[in-house]
Amino acid sequence: MSLSDPRAFLTSLFNEALGAADPLKVLPAHLPAPPSGRTVVVGAGKAAAAMAKAVEDNWSGPLEGLVVTRYGHGLPTRRIEVIEAAHPVPDKAGREAAGRILKSVNGLNADDLVLCLISGGGSALLTLPAPGIDLEEKQAVNRALLKCGAPIDEMNCVRKHLSAIKGGRLAAAAAPARVITLMISDVPGDDPAVIASGPTVCDPTTFADAQAIVDKYGIDLPDSIRKRFSAAEDETPKPGDPRLDSVVSHIISRPQDSLEAAASFARTKGVTPIILGDSIEGEARDVGQVMAGIALQVRRHRQPVPPPCVLLSGGETTVTVKGNGRGGRNAEFLLSFALSVQGMQGIHAIACDTDGIDGSEDNAGAICDPATLDHASSAGVDPAACLDNNDAYRVFDALGDLIMTGPTRTNVNDFRAILIE
């Protein structure tokens, strides 16, 4: 492969990023020694099944447990049960799995170990409504949060205060057992309290914070949730809570690791990598315009470095849904990018979600090149109108430019690479 095939180069960068976040490769080095008592494995997230398999393949002592992952993201395991549930809107399977997980850590003692495997997507998958709230009400709030464009830290603040298991509550229930949490980060800033809403991590946010967020976005709360927020009782465990004294968290893979793996690969091909950031947030279409401006500066003025180079970035953009098309934040980013560079020669880009699912669609993301807009026009598709309708999927589907990986069983959030020849 050479730069004569930009698409193959960009796809290889994405594959290198995925490899750096593969639980089967990165998890074993972080396993603790078996305890004198029981080892109970619990977990949630899109990588949970792969993480559970990595534990099984590398654990010498007795083992039991249960993890929950997204439909289609499971793997065969022998001793750790894997349950599949819905994401991003939770369902009954997720609620039942969360209830079983919470029950499994009750009654342990100080000789026991809870090994908690957490990755992105865990917040929706590990759904156990707080007393007085039913699943349908949580689903309604979750849909509203997804649609309003709230960043992940705000979404998870609200989720913690609707939950009987998130925001440190799982670890509190496991006391006095030792709890070791292994995390794959999918959040900007890699804050353990935000990853999957931190079920084993003390929570600095409050009911008042959650209320401020729903007020900010004008979310209409059901009466039961409004009363819960107003009463502000049963607060999540806070820093210094003695129930979390025996809890340790380790982030075993993060977005920056994947960007660095892609950068190393680029160097082997004689392409200068520039990592613009691992925690870029904002509206996907706005970020697309900004990235296009940087790419055009390189192409026209050879600044900040001369081509060939590749601009790498990660993080989690958002989409405030106003249309009724098929989107995905990476497809929307890429369509906005393509419209902004206007077919400038020598600029190619890929944008994918590392879990293999762009939002709720069946693609990981998409790829574009200088001919994207012309090809769309020839196919009878109006890219600008599609962007206005949050219908970026339609454009890249018509061109055969969707990236389809299927479930990757990991998740370090978005991966973007822009090649300037």
CA dist 307 and 341 (Å) reads 16
Same domain, residue pair 249 and 266 = no
Q: Which of 192, 220, 253 is the last residue of a domain?
A: 253
Residues 180 and 279 in one domain: no
pLDDT at 203: 97
DSSP run (H or E) holding 329 = helix 329-341
CATH of the domain at 245: 3.40.50.10180
Name which of 51, 61, 1 is nearest 26 in CA terms: 51
The answer to whether residues 260 and 243 belong to one domain is no
Per DSSP, 374 falls in state H
Q: Both 365 and 244 in a single domain?
A: no
Same-domain pairing of 356 and 297: yes
Asked if 129 and 198 sit in the same domain, the reply is yes
Q: Determine, yes or no, domain membership for 26.
A: no
Does residue 25 sit within a domain? no
Residue 106: count other Cβ atoms within 10 Å of its Cβ. Answer: 9
In this predicted structure, what is the pLDDT of residue 146?
87
d(CA 302, CA 213): 43
Q: Is residue 190 part of a domain?
A: yes
CATH number, domain with residue 271: 3.40.1480.10
Specify the pLDDT at position 1.
42
Q: What is the pLDDT of residues 17-61, one digit of tens each?
A: 999 999 999 999 999 999 999 999 999 999 999 999 999 999 999
List of residues 6+ apart from 95 with CB closer than 8 A: 127, 128, 129, 135
* 283 and 362, same domain (yes or no): yes
Q: 293 and 180, same structural domain?
A: no
Looking at residue 374, its pLDDT comes to: 97
Clarify whether residues 87 and 113 are in a common domain.
Answer: yes
| DSSP string computed for 257-302 | HHHHHHHHHHHHTT-EEEEEEEEE-SBHHHHHHHHHHHHHHHHHH-
DSSP state string for 336-349: HHHHHHTT-TTEEE
Give pLDDT < 70 ranges for the chain: 1-2
pLDDT tens digits along 327-346: 899 999 999 999 999 999 99
pLDDT attached to residue 407: 96
Sheet of strand 178-184: strand arrangement:
80-85, 64-70, 39-44, 113-119, 178-184, 247-253
Q: What is the total count of domains within the chain?
A: 2
Other Cβ atoms closer than 10 A to 92: 11
Last residue of a domain, one of 221, 253, 285: 253
Residues 141 and 277 in one domain: no
What's the domain range around 269?
Answer: 6-18+256-420
Helix (H) or strand (E) holding 65: strand 64-70
Instruction: Identify whether residues 261 and 231 lie together within a single domain.
Output: no
- Residue 227, pLDDT score: 94
- Return the pLDDT at 103: 98
